[in-house]
Chain A
Amino acid sequence: MYVAVKGGERAIENAHRLLAHERRGDRDVPEVSIAQISEQLSLGVDRVMAEGSLYDRELAALAIKQSRGDLIEAIFLVRAFRATLPRFGATEPVDTGEMQVRRRISSTFKDIPGGQILGPTFDYTHRLLDPQLAEGFAPEGPMVGDASGAATPRVTDILGRDGLIEPSPQGRADAIVGDLTREPLDFPAERDLRLQNLARADEGFLLALGYSTQRGYGRNHPFAGEIRFGEVEVEFMAEDAGFAVPLGSITLTECQMVNQFKGSATEAPCFTRGYGLAFGQSERKTMSMALVDRSLRARELGEELIAPAQDEEFVMSHSDNVQATGFVEHLKLPHYVDFQSELGLLRKLRKEFADATAAAPMREAAE
């Protein structure tokens, strides 16, 4: 007999209506605005932009509101939105050396040109909950200092001048830049694709992998050569205008990890490096990314492959939280037919087992 399974529509409709109601929460409490989320939960917005792989503060803030603060759901929403717009092309590569720096620190050199600029950081806070914030709090305006003549060159460029650190790999000008949103992943993957994957990877996943390398699973002896965040100008080669037009600025965080040195019979030893770059103020993310970028270079640097963080297929195939949540969460969708077939098979096996064990004592008795 054929039994149609229907009847979910009304339940689904009502569930969504209930969701909207619950999302609004207590209606005596003022509704949160997109601007409030963008301005006051800005690091959450940054994370959604980085992992949603779409730079648009308003959209990310809207996604956070819609997802009730579930950032992975928000990232999913942003990724889905992105698929609705045409792509005009790729920008000129941004120059992080020209960043208008809002924070810039090095843990390898105390005195760097431009200085150590702490910026708005949680570092050195006591991590004590602040009751003032619970009751409406107007902070004092920031202090101002002398910003004249403070160029902030990249620390790795300074090391590079003496050849103490390996140079960044240069690509040919006409080389095609790998794009995992256009081509399915293929292994082994080049570093451009790996970095694209890591830039949109789940922060928690990268953090755990980076941590694992520090604890000895593929150790690579890192120093935070430099971490900087601030505004970087973006230019786009507009075919119709005939030149690279400025599009405005985006906020980026960059981490240059300086790692254990390497040399050979033909090359003098020098430090190796790992790189992290992400949208927004995303320090933990870029530090983790730089650690994992370095560990994924194990093959290229002739290191023994022993740890998960060195396995690019493992890392890149499991780093995307939208893919991961899709596959994990699909388990809650109806699997009635699959399960019924398993259940039928199990019942049959159990019956065979019961028949066999019932027959066995009789055989023994007969012997």
Chain B
Amino acid sequence: MTATESSKQARRKAAMAVLAHSASAEISARLEAAALPAHQTLREPENGLVMVRGRIGGDGAAFNLGEATVSRAAVRLSTGEVGFGYVLGRDKQKAAMMALCDAMVQSEELAGLAEEQVIAPLRAALSTKRERKATEAAATRVDFYTLVRGES
């Protein structure tokens, strides 16, 4: 894989991660505001399962922990870019929107638009949410202090 390809893949993954963590309604609102490019469905959105794996001891050999529901879809833009949507849950609409976004991220004309209008605002909202969760947890961190008994 060339450096350009790998950086493109990293960009696609980062966009997918933001979308996967965002609510369907928010993606849909952003996408509609950005105006949808012409595209066709390559894979009808469908629900299925993935077997989630853990590691023995957290860092050892893999084992099967249990399954999770997943939706997936694939689309192709009229300009040829093929996008894939994979997401936990059973929201086929979300998988389809993610596929469309993935295709847009790969398109030279649309990548900027997708980033500005869709991904960036969702990323900001997601990072605020994560930050809030982290600070809530941090408030429950124990601050040990030592009591000195008797004369010092």
A150 at the interface (CB under 8 A from B): yes
A200 at the interface (CB under 8 A from B): yes
B29 at the interface (CB under 8 A from A): no
Whether the pair B134, A233 counts as a contact (CB closer than 8 A) is: no
Whether the pair A89, B21 counts as a contact (CB closer than 8 A) is: no
Number of chain A residues close to chain B: CB under 8 A: 85
Whether the pair B64, A277 counts as a contact (CB closer than 8 A) is: no
B150 at the interface (CB under 8 A from A): no
A145 CB to closest chain B CB, in angstroms?
A: 4
Across the interface, name the chain B residue whose C-beta is closest to A144: B135
Whether the pair A236, B86 counts as a contact (CB closer than 8 A) is: yes
B49 at the interface (CB under 8 A from A): yes
Assembled-state Cα–Cα distance A71/B123 (Å): 37
Assembled-state Cα–Cα distance A200/B51 (Å): 13
Point out the residue from B16, B68, B133 that lies within 8 Å of A246, measured CB to CB.
B16
A233 CB to closest chain B CB, in angstroms?
A: 7
Whether the pair B135, A87 counts as a contact (CB closer than 8 A) is: no
By a CB distance below 8 angstroms, the chain A residues around B70 are 88, 236, 247
Specify which of B47, B57, B60, B61 lies most central, judged by the most chain A CB atoms within 10 Å of its CB: B57
A75 CB to closest chain B CB, in angstroms?
A: 12
* 9-residue interface stretch from B32-40, B107-115, B138-146: B138-146
Cβ contacts B70-87/A at 8 Å (1 or 0 each): 101010000000001011
Whether the pair B136, A56 counts as a contact (CB closer than 8 A) is: no
By a CB distance below 8 angstroms, the chain A residues around B88 are 55, 234, 247-250
A323 at the interface (CB under 8 A from B): no
Assembled-state Cα–Cα distance A249/B60 (Å): 21
Given contacts A143-B136, A200-B66, A250-B88, contact A195 B56 (CB under 8 A): yes
Whether the pair B54, A55 counts as a contact (CB closer than 8 A) is: no
Whether the pair B138, A177 counts as a contact (CB closer than 8 A) is: no
By a CB distance below 8 angstroms, the chain B residues around A142 are 136, 139
By a CB distance below 8 angstroms, the chain B residues around A248 are 20-21, 87-89
Point out the residue from B63, B67, B86, B138 that lies within 8 Å of A191, measured CB to CB.
B63
Whether the pair B66, A146 counts as a contact (CB closer than 8 A) is: no
Given contacts A233-B17, A246-B17, A250-B68, contact A277 B142 (CB under 8 A): no
A308 at the interface (CB under 8 A from B): no
Assembled-state Cα–Cα distance A196/B12 (Å): 32
Given contacts A55-B52, A55-B66, A87-B50, contact A240 B74 (CB under 8 A): yes
Given contacts A178-B64, A275-B58, contact A56 B21 (CB under 8 A): no
Given contacts A102-B137, A178-B63, A241-B84, contact A256 B69 (CB under 8 A): no
Whether the pair B64, A192 counts as a contact (CB closer than 8 A) is: yes
Across the interface, name the chain A residue whose C-beta is closest to B74: A240
By a CB distance below 8 angstroms, the chain B residues around A233 are 17
Point out the residue from B47, B59, B63, B144 that lies within 8 Å of A97, measured CB to CB.
B59
A365 at the interface (CB under 8 A from B): no
A273 at the interface (CB under 8 A from B): yes
A142 CB to closest chain B CB, in angstroms?
A: 5
Specify which of A102, A118, A180, A247 lies most central, judged by the most chain B CB atoms within 10 Å of its CB: A247
Assembled-state Cα–Cα distance A241/B86 (Å): 10
B128 at the interface (CB under 8 A from A): no
Given contacts A100-B134, A191-B63, contact A55 B56 (CB under 8 A): no
Contacts A54-B69, A117-B142, A144-B138 aside, 8 further interface pairs with beta carbons under 8 A come to A55-B66, A102-B136, A117-B140, A119-B140, A145-B135, A147-B137, A177-B64, A199-B54
Offer 9 A-B interface pairs, CB within 8 angstroms, sorted by A: A55-B67, A85-B69, A88-B70, A103-B140, A110-B144, A145-B136, A233-B17, A236-B50, A245-B16
Q: Which 3 A-B pairs have the closest CB atoms?
A: A168-B60, A171-B61, A168-B57
Question: Which of A's residues lie within 8 Å of B, judged by CB?
Answer: 49-50, 53-56, 58-59, 82, 85-97, 100-103, 110-111, 115-120, 142-147, 150, 154, 156-157, 167-171, 175, 177-181, 191-193, 195-196, 199-200, 230, 233-234, 236, 238, 240-241, 243-250, 252, 254, 256, 273, 275, 277-279
